[in-house]
Amino acid sequence: LVDLLTLQKQFILMHLGEGDVAVDYTMGNGYDTEFLSKTVGPEGKVYAFDIQELALKNTAAHLKESGCSDNYRLIHASHHRAAEFVKEPVKAGMFNLGYMPGSGHKEVTTMRETTLPAVETAISLLGKDAILLIAVYPGHPEGEAEGLALQEYLSTLSRFKMTVAKFQMLNSPTSPYFMIVETK
Ligand SMILES: C[S@@+](CC[C@H](N)C(=O)[O-])C[C@H]1O[C@@H](n2cnc3c(N)ncnc32)[C@H](O)[C@@H]1O
């Protein structure tokens, strides 16, 4: 069976390797940050963003426990401000939209007003042969609207510069799906 999380990692690994720069735009509990940190290794660099203090606390603990190299910077700021912190070309970026699992703060979810500018910035930060992956949770109303707004925007990107694609279970439309932007 197709497992979307495994598939997401496979796409990232087609672009990201040791020594590269990666960004986790939605840190949460740090599972994606861990994956990126281990993939780029001690010579690489990972920037991770979240607006919740709890995310930084949980992620810092998780990265220590899971034996990651000291190659990450956890930033307490909204992801639409990424260009203020990330100055080098990015090889892989990840957005895992929605609210933080297990936090009890379902109201702190990603919102179109900041997600769209953040995705635009994330695309502008990509280097050559790089990838941006955006996972959407259409099971809640803001998630569904966020996904549709993103699709509208991503559809306008030049196919001569980027590949833009979407992976979704056709027989389970409320399940999470993801989109990728790959630069040439
Ligand atoms: C689905 S969770 C991410 C899960 C995470 N990748 C993990 O592995 O645990 C989404 C996260 O986005 C964060 N978030 C919401 N709005 C944000 C914003 N404007 N900038 C950065 N993070 C934001 C939430 O606080 C939440 O922790």
pLDDT per position as a tens digit, 151-176: 999 999 999 999 999 999 999 989 99
Angle (deg, nearest 10), helices 31-40 and 4-13: 30
Atom 23 of ligand 1: nearest residue by CA position: 50
Atom of ligand 1 nearest to the CA of 32: 8
Torsion sign (Cα): 111, 26, 147, 181: positive
Q: How far apart are the first and last CA of the chain?
A: 30
pTM summary value = 0.97
pLDDT for position 89: 98
pLDDT per position as a tens digit, 64-79: 999 999 999 999 999 9
Radius of gyration of the CA atoms of the chain, in A: 15
Provide DSSP, 52-70.
-HHHHHHHHHHHHHTT--S
What gap in Å lies between CA 29 and CA 8, rounded to an integer?
Answer: 18
Atom of ligand 1 nearest to the CA of 78: 20
What gap in Å lies between CA 36 and CA 23, rounded to an integer?
Answer: 8
pLDDT for position 56: 98
How are strands ordered across the β-sheet holding 162-167? 72-76, 45-50, 21-24, 90-96, 126-136, 177-183, 162-167
Where does the pLDDT of residue 105 fall: very low under 50, low under 70, confident under 90, or very high at 90 and above?
confident
Ligand 1 centroid distance, CA of 160 (Å)? 31
pLDDT over 90 at 107, yes or no: no
Pocket probe mutation, ligand 1, options 23, 26, 76, max atoms within 8 Å of Cβ: 26
Where does the pLDDT of residue 2 fall: very low under 50, low under 70, confident under 90, or very high at 90 and above?
confident
Token pair belonging to 172: 């389970």
Instruction: For 7-23, give one letter per residue: b (16+ CB within 10 A) or e.
Output: ebbebbeebbeeebbbb
From the CB of residue 25, how many other CB atoms can be counted at a distance below 10 Å?
A: 27
Q: Tokens 């991503």 belong to which residue? A: 154
From the CB of residue 105, how many other CB atoms can be counted at a distance below 10 Å?
A: 12
Where does the pLDDT of residue 102 fall: very low under 50, low under 70, confident under 90, or very high at 90 and above?
confident
Atom 17 of ligand 1: nearest residue by CA position: 110
pLDDT per position as a tens digit, 20-32: 999 999 999 999 9
Q: How far is C-alpha 34 from the chain's CA centre?
A: 12
How much is the average pLDDT of 130-155? 95
